[in-house]
């Protein structure tokens, strides 16, 4: 069993989610944004974020091909579960767990922009900028994290650890 250590505790995460929600609520006043959660890693973050938002909004999910059991992106991205509604004319806010190389999200943001939404912004809980291969603009960011393998708060390693309430990292042996 890999060992995990707490990097950002649940209280700190809760405060940050409230801050992000306040920014989103201010920026999208009088609009009904379409929040698109990138599965599976964003599900806990998205669930907390929407409950901190006191405004009209809609939620959709999209699933991209993942790392599988690897700790590193292959760089090849595919949509493996698509949206059920059109984004044309919508104010889209993509909700992501962690920006690493940026390959998944630059692919997704380009794909969404081709569908003529009114606006597209990105909200990411975590950013690992040291690993970036493609620039991605994050409009709403929770925390910048070091180059560690992160788990917990929805984020997995090989499908495990998503249920940890804190943001943790796996210790290397
Ligand atoms: P990117 O295309 O390399 O930016 O990959 C982003 C996706 O890889 C994230 O949405 C996560 O699902 C996954 N990922 C990146 N870093 C980590 C990590 O430290 N732990 C778990 N998953 C990660
Ligand atoms: Mg992800």
CATH number for position 36: 3.40.50.2020
Q: Which atom of ligand 1 is nearest to the CA of 145?
A: 19
| Domain annotation covers residue 158 | no
97, 100, 127, 156: the active-site residue:
100
State yes or no: pLDDT of 65 exceeds 60. yes
| Domain annotation covers residue 161 | no
Binding site membership of 104 for ligand 1 (Cβ less than 6 Å): yes
| Domain annotation covers residue 164 | no
Closest ligand, as measured to the CA of 43: 2
Q: What is the model's pLDDT at position 71?
A: 59
Q: Which residue range(s) make up the domain with 78?
A: 10-148
> Worst-scoring range by mean pLDDT, 26-30, 74-78, 126-130?
74-78
State yes or no: pLDDT of 159 exceeds 70. yes
pLDDT digits (tens, 9 = 90+) for 110-128: 999 999 999 999 999 999 9
Taking the centre of ligand 2 as the mean of its atom positions, its distance from the CA of residue 67, in whole angstroms, is: 9
Count of structural domains within the chain: 1
What whole-number distance in Å separates Cα of residue 133 and Cα of residue 15? 30
| Domain annotation covers residue 167 | no
Binding site membership of 100 for ligand 1 (Cβ less than 6 Å): yes
Phi-psi region of 84 (alpha: psi -120 to 50; beta: other; left: phi over 0): alpha
State yes or no: pLDDT of 66 exceeds 70. no
| Domain annotation covers residue 171 | no
- Crossing angle of helices 10-27/43-51, nearest 10°? 60
| pTM of the complete model | 0.94
CB 11 within 8 A of CB 166: no
| Domain annotation covers residue 47 | yes
How confident is the model over 164-171, as a mean pLDDT? Answer: 97
| Domain annotation covers residue 165 | no
| Domain annotation covers residue 89 | yes
100 catalytic, yes or no?
A: yes
């Amino acid at each position: 069993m890999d060992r995990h250590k707490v990097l950002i505790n649940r209280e700190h995460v809760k405060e940050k989610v409230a801050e992000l929600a306040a920014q989103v609520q201010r920026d999208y006043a009088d609009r009904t944004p379409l929040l698109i959660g990138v599965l599976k890693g964003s599900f806990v973050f998205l669930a907390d974020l929407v409950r901190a938002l006191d405004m009209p909004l809609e939620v959709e999910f999209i699933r991209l091909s993942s790392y599988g059991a690897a700790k590193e992106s292959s760089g090849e991205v595919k949509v493996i579960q698509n949206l059920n509604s059109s984004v044309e004319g919508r104010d889209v806010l993509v909700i992501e767990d962690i920006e690493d190389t940026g390959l998944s999200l630059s692919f997704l943001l380009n794909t969404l922009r081709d569908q003529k939404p009114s606006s597209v912004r990105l909200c990411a809980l975590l950013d690992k900028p040291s690993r970036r291969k493609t620039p991605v603009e994050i409009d709403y960011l929770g925390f910048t994290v070091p180059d560690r393998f992160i788990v917990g708060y929805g984020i997995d390693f090989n499908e495990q650890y998503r249920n940890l309430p804190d943001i943790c990292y796996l210790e290397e042996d």
